[in-house]
Chain A
Amino acid sequence: MRARGRRAPVPLPLLLPALIGLAFLVLPLIALLVRTPWSSLPEQLASTEVWQALRLSLVCATAATAVSLVIGVPLAWLLARVDFPGRGLVRALVTLPLVLPPVVGGVALLMALGRNGVVGQWLDSWFGITLPFTTAGVVVAEAFVAMPFLVISVEGTLRAADPRYEEAATTLGASRFTAFRRVTLPLIAPGIAAGAVLAWARALGEFGATITFAGNFPGRTQTMPLAVYLALQSDPAAAIALSLVLLAVSVAVLAGLRDRWMTAT
């Protein structure tokens, strides 16, 4: 609103809603800062529950990202490079968790991997593996919700990358896998990194699928978002403190992403 210089004036019917939109997005965050009990903050953050939840969140989100990378990057490659019947349908299925309410995802995971689930009963009786209500279950729930972000991001990068580099590699004697590993992977590394950060951030904030599939046990499955929700009912000051930590992490992620994107271009 200060000196407009020689720029054309911004029409009011656009400017006004835009400013309201901006306020709508920023105001809650400011309110969070305003209401933070700064004096008792160190004490709040020093509690073992907070550290437990934060540690668990970071570990699970990182593990979920690792899982997503290991199976998501090949999936993205398949979608981008191999022409198979039903590819459109597969892509739609991959992106479904993006729009699916996370709680529904949690229920679906229970039906699949729960102790009596379609696959879970075999995991239980053959290998003695139970996923629901365990820390591994948190990783599964987070990966389910976060992986599509990675797949979409990597697939986009792959599509933009010139497939002829892979052809050049094969004429030099590289198998398709070697070409992928030694040529394609380094070329799309910035896209993979950006996708991984997106997936990691999504996993860190994951609530619905986690609480449905893995429950809410402090130290085992209670991640930061669950702790925030729980604390809000008993100790709002603690909830604010925890929220502040998550906000700080988010801002850090955003800064990191921006750096990634700047080096990528």
Chain B
Amino acid sequence: MTDTEKTAPEAAPAPEAEAAAVPAPEAEGLDARLVVDRGDFRLDVALTAGPGDVVALLGPNGAGKTTALRALAGLTPLTSGHLLLDGTELDDMPPESRPVGVVFQDYLLFPHLTALDNVAFGPRCQGATKAQARAQAAVWLERMGLADHVGARPRRLSGGQAQRVALARALATGPRLLLLDEPLAALDARTRLEVRAGLRRHLAAFEAVAVLVTHDPLDAMVLADRLVVIEEGHVVQEGTPGDVARHPRTDYIAHLVGLNLYQGQAEGHTVRLDTGPVITTTEELSGPVFVAFPPGAVTLYREKPTGSSARNLWRGEVAGLETHGDQIRVDVTGELRLAADLTTLAAAELGLHPGAPIWATVKAAQTHAYPA
């Protein structure tokens, strides 16, 4: 549960000379506890990140991700908590004074300004002359590969171009914290791939803290070094993308990464679930555990299989069928609620339909148990 390790070993250590210039090197980066009360919704999230980190806030709609982002930017006031960036307290600082750049979900490029003047807006507000600001903006746009679109109004830009202008605009102010709200949500699937790769490069090159909000696990896993999963205003899990995918702690995460996830008490190789059924695993554990297995590891039968070596055998019925690419995901209820992935052919041979009685098996070797 304690992920706030002050001495993150994988964070690139600052060069000696620079470290000496900074009074408190351990205070660099973001250290925040964001508490926002809004009616009967309460956001209470702790966030820490070092310079160069890219943190993704991942969660379902309405989890409070955007509220957290707005609180970091100063657009929504904190009810309580604290917000430290590079050792400076930002809690009561108005948004215009915070060294924070924001890329909004629909970019919010100023429609009456050219791409160049959109990017020059921040430097202008920081006191640069018009000529200086435009020169800086031109450099940023060139870096984004938009040198040819300097004079274009936002409505003439494609989604991917607008996204890059928005990123350039946010970076042009030299922020110490970069916030991205669903940076790829406004794009169609094809542009998304391209823009995601570009964004990944720019985020990797960004030397300060970046926090992005997304409901798309793929975006989060590709772009971020660390995931913070938020549900109903609270952090339910955080860790590297790999950790979170292998050891999901809630239904939501398990669904996102395509796993069946259960909680129970382990005793040796068996795990008795809180809901009754028992799952046999290869791991030997004791005490409260999570058990996970991918839907592809489930085999379904219409008749009780005879001579099957699988210890994990449950009776159920088909609750629903859903197409996932060239696979069919079967929602099975009964002794154990689970998701199973079948090929279309297999599903047709089994004659599956909602309400059909079914037997489900999983090999112990394909389950994965870990302490809760």
A residues sitting closer than 8 Å to B (CB atoms) are 162, 164-165, 167-176, 178, 182-183, 186-187
| CB neighbors of A among B302-345 (8 A) | none
B281 CB–A CB distance under 8 Å: no
B6 CB–A CB distance under 8 Å: no
B240 CB–A CB distance under 8 Å: no
B104 CB–A CB distance under 8 Å: yes
**Contact assessment for A174 and B104 in the assembled complex, using a CB-CB cutoff below 8 Å:** no
| CB neighbors of A among B83-118 (8 A) | 94-98, 100-102, 104, 108, 110-112
Taking A164-B104, A168-B102, A170-B96 as contacts, is the C-beta distance between A187 and B125 under 8 angstroms? no
Q: List chain B residues, Cβ under 8 A from A183.
A: 110
**Contact assessment for B112 and A174 in the assembled complex, using a CB-CB cutoff below 8 Å:** no
Taking A178-B125, A182-B121 as contacts, is the C-beta distance between A171 and B110 under 8 angstroms? no
Taking A186-B112, A187-B112 as contacts, is the C-beta distance between A171 and B121 under 8 angstroms? no
Count how many chain B residues have C-beta atoms less than 8 Å from C-beta atoms of the other chain: 23
Taking A183-B110, A187-B112 as contacts, is the C-beta distance between A174 and B73 under 8 angstroms? no
Q: List chain A residues, Cβ under 8 A from B170.
A: 171-172
Closest to B112 in A: A186
The 0/1 profile, CB within 8 Å of A marked 1, for residues 123-142 of chain B is 00110000000000000000
Q: List chain A residues, Cβ under 8 A from B104.
A: 164, 168
Bound-state Cα–Cα, A173 to B111, Å? 18
**B95 CB to nearest A CB, Å:** 4
B75 CB–A CB distance under 8 Å: yes
Bound-state Cα–Cα, A176 to B97, Å? 11
Q: List chain B residues, Cβ under 8 A from A169.
A: 110, 121, 125
B122 CB–A CB distance under 8 Å: yes
Q: Residue A173 contacts which of B108, B112, B126 (CB distance < 8 angstroms)?
A: B126
Q: What are 19 A-B contacts defined by CB distance under 8 Å?
A: A164-B108, A165-B108, A167-B95, A168-B104, A168-B110, A169-B110, A170-B74, A170-B75, A170-B94, A170-B95, A171-B75, A171-B102, A171-B170, A172-B96, A172-B121, A172-B122, A172-B125, A173-B122, A186-B110
**B41 CB to nearest A CB, Å:** 19
**Contact assessment for A173 and B125 in the assembled complex, using a CB-CB cutoff below 8 Å:** yes
Count the A-B residue pairs with Cβ separation under 8 angstroms: how many? 58
Q: List chain A residues, Cβ under 8 A from B173.
A: 172-173
Closest to A162 in B: B108
Q: Residue B121 contacts which of A162, A164, A174, A187 (CB distance < 8 angstroms)?
A: A174
Bound-state Cα–Cα, A174 to B173, Å? 11
Q: List chain B residues, Cβ under 8 A from A172.
A: 96, 101, 121-122, 125, 169-170, 173
Q: List chain B residues, Cβ under 8 A from A170.
A: 74-75, 94-96
**Contact assessment for B75 and A167 in the assembled complex, using a CB-CB cutoff below 8 Å:** yes
Closest to B106 in A: A164
Closest to B122 in A: A172
Closest to B105 in A: A164
A-B pairs, top 3 by smallest CB distance, nearest first, are A173-B125, A172-B122, A168-B108
Bound-state Cα–Cα, A171 to B98, Å? 8
Q: List chain A residues, Cβ under 8 A from B122.
A: 172-173
Closest to B175 in A: A171
Closest to B104 in A: A168
Which of B74, B96, B98, B173 has the most chain A CB atoms closer than 10 A to its own CB?
A: B96
Bound-state Cα–Cα, A17 to B168, Å? 61
Closest to A167 in B: B75
Closest to B100 in A: A171
**B60 CB to nearest A CB, Å:** 22
The 0/1 profile, CB within 8 Å of A marked 1, for residues 205-223 of chain B is 0000000000000000000
Which of B98, B121, B122 has the most chain A CB atoms closer than 10 A to its own CB?
A: B121
**Contact assessment for A171 and B111 in the assembled complex, using a CB-CB cutoff below 8 Å:** no
Closest to A189 in B: B112
Closest to A179 in B: B96
Q: Residue B95 contacts which of A162, A165, A171, A182 (CB distance < 8 angstroms)?
A: A171
Closest to A187 in B: B112
Q: Residue A165 contacts which of B75, B100, B110, B125 (CB distance < 8 angstroms)?
A: B110
**Contact assessment for B111 and A174 in the assembled complex, using a CB-CB cutoff below 8 Å:** no
Q: List chain A residues, Cβ under 8 A from B110.
A: 165, 168-169, 183, 186-187
Q: List chain B residues, Cβ under 8 A from A164.
A: 104, 108
Bound-state Cα–Cα, A183 to B97, Å? 18
**Contact assessment for B111 and A187 in the assembled complex, using a CB-CB cutoff below 8 Å:** yes
Bound-state Cα–Cα, A76 to B95, Å? 24
Q: List chain A residues, Cβ under 8 A from B101.
A: 171-172
List 5 extra interface pairs beyond A172-B169, A173-B126, CB under 8 A: A169-B110, A172-B125, A174-B96, A176-B96, A187-B110
**A176 CB to nearest B CB, Å:** 8
**A189 CB to nearest B CB, Å:** 8
Q: List chain B residues, Cβ under 8 A from A174.
A: 96, 121, 125
Q: List chain A residues, Cβ under 8 A from B169.
A: 172
Bound-state Cα–Cα, A183 to B109, Å? 10
Which of B95, B101, B122, B169 has the most chain A CB atoms closer than 10 A to its own CB?
A: B95
**A263 CB to nearest B CB, Å:** 13
Bound-state Cα–Cα, A182 to B75, Å? 19
Q: List chain A residues, Cβ under 8 A from B125.
A: 169, 172-175, 178
| CB neighbors of A among B276-296 (8 A) | none
Closest to B102 in A: A171
Q: List chain B residues, Cβ under 8 A from A173.
A: 96-97, 122, 125-126, 173
Q: List chain B residues, Cβ under 8 A from A176.
A: 96
Bound-state Cα–Cα, A171 to B97, Å? 8
Which of A164, A170, A178, A186 has the most chain B CB atoms closer than 10 A to its own CB?
A: A170
